[in-house]
Amino acid sequence: MIRLTNAMLYNNALTNLSSENQNLLQINNQVSSGKRVNSPADDPVAIGQILNYQTNLNDNAQFTSNTNHANNLLSQADTVLTSTSSLATEAQTLITQMSSGTYTAQNRLTNAAQADSFIAQAEQLGNTRIGSQYIFGGTNNGTPPINTNGQYVGGSTPLTAQVETSTMVQTAPLASSFLAGSMNPNLNISAGSSTPLSAIKGGVGVGTTPATFTVTDRAGNVTTVNVASGSNLNAVITAINGGAAKVTASLAKNGQSIQITDNNTTGITGPLTITDTTGTAAASLGIAGSRNISSFAGDNIAPALTTGTSISDLFGGAGMSLTNISVQNGGVTNTVSFAGAKTIGDIITAINGATPSANVTAGINSAGNALTVTSNNPATVAIASDIGNGSTASKLGLDGGTNMIKTLQDLSSALKLNDTDALRALIPAFQSVVNNISLVQGVVGASVNQLTTNNTFLSSNVSSVTAALSSVQDADMASVLTQLAQLQTAYQATAKVTAQILQPGLLSYL
């Protein structure tokens, strides 16, 4: 016969009370939190599902925030485009009136002030901000995208927002798409046609030359790169690739920065480091610094146009097809053919050499991203126009299409000089400006529609995921409250019975 000692009775009683107390605690947690699963121990399988659902909801919240921000930007962009369209229509009305023979030179001079006002308004619209962000400057949105000359100096990549896992939406067009055209050339590292170092960063160049910098790979091998005066990108790339450091320099995918890749597979002990030793060439090339990675794309160093820029490198490497254009100046009109042209220099030569001579000089603008055609006669204004359905003059940054500010500037000059030939030549250019703005508005409208559809999807997704999360995580309160009452009753009964069984007697103290 086994004798049950008081210690055994006490331990057994405490175990029972502790177990029931733990059950009470768990149910109380469910009552207070409203959740069936409050820790991994409650349901290890369910906790994984819960974390996935919560991650999905967090992502949805971020996508919703991004969508709302994108809607704000697009709404502002649409407002600006509407104002820009109205401005272009006013200018179109003015030029139609002023090209008529019923107006005098004084009338035109007086109305030139209105054209100048249009220019100022267009520049202001292009430099629209939300907070500190210039919305039409693309990713380079910290500075005004339209400079004081009415030229585009913003970034080449439009602002976008991630509104779903694999969906990016453009949140504002570039000002270069409707106010001041830019040919946005890519870098070229090919021997014989490489980008001059003086042209990188929009013509800023690499600073004082000769210059030197070192490339130290992740295994500690070092290459010293000498940058000569008048050098080009091909020479720098070749020098980096031909040294002791086991790295490969190449053109990055965006075509406007340098990619550096460390080729070491063993002995990797340190960072990939590029340091200027004389001058600032490495920093100017966007590759200076120390990085604990094996491959990186440097900063954007998009070049300015040069006479050697290949037509195939224009517009981010998309290139352009050349069609004939018309150049009018001082009553003389010629047709310019670009047959066989391969570089910007070829285009300039074709314009300057066209017959009959329109007495003009073509060149590259001061921003280094478009062409100009200027009258050699200070009393006339040269106008370059597209022929038929062509878009070459517009793409070259001359008149019409994406070049509203340039077209307004020509309008102002023609009014001041009483050049009725130029005024008449500008009429179709302004029509193409109006048409282009309408196209850009259509793109913005399509983005707004996409966001509306996406918002509907996000709202639906939140509802379904929240319901799924609730089914896994939330407690059935009716059932839980019933369990709580049952456990409280059981606990009280156990405590009462235990107290009676374990009442101390006289023998307990012997």
pLDDT at 501: 62
SS3 per-residue string spanning 302-355: CCCCCCCCEHHHHHHHCCCCCCCEEEEECCEEEEECCCCCCEHHHHHHHHHHCC
- Distance, in Å, from the CA atom of 416 to the CA atom of 104, rounded to the nearest integer, reads 11
The answer to whether 422 touches 410, Cβ cutoff 8 Å, is yes
Q: ω into residue 356 within 30 of 0, thus cis?
A: yes
The label of the residue with tokens 């319901």 reads 467
Distance in angstroms (rounded) separating the CA atoms of residues 240 and 234: 10
CB 405 within 8 A of CB 150: yes
List the beta bridge partners of residue 275: 214
pTM (2 decimals)? Answer: 0.82
What are 100-128's pLDDT values in tens digits? 989 999 999 999 999 999 999 999 999 99
Of 437, 398, 411, which is closest to residue 178 (Cα–Cα)? Answer: 437
Q: Which residue has the tokens 């209105």?
A: 114
Give me the phi and psi of 170, to 5 degrees please.
-70, 125
Q: Which of 422, 331, 430, 429 is nearest to 385 (CA)?
A: 429
Q: What is the pLDDT of residue 486?
A: 63
CB 28 within 8 A of CB 21: no
Positions in the chain whose pLDDT score sits under 50: 506-510
State residue 3's pLDDT score. Answer: 58
Residue 439 is predicted with a pLDDT of: 97
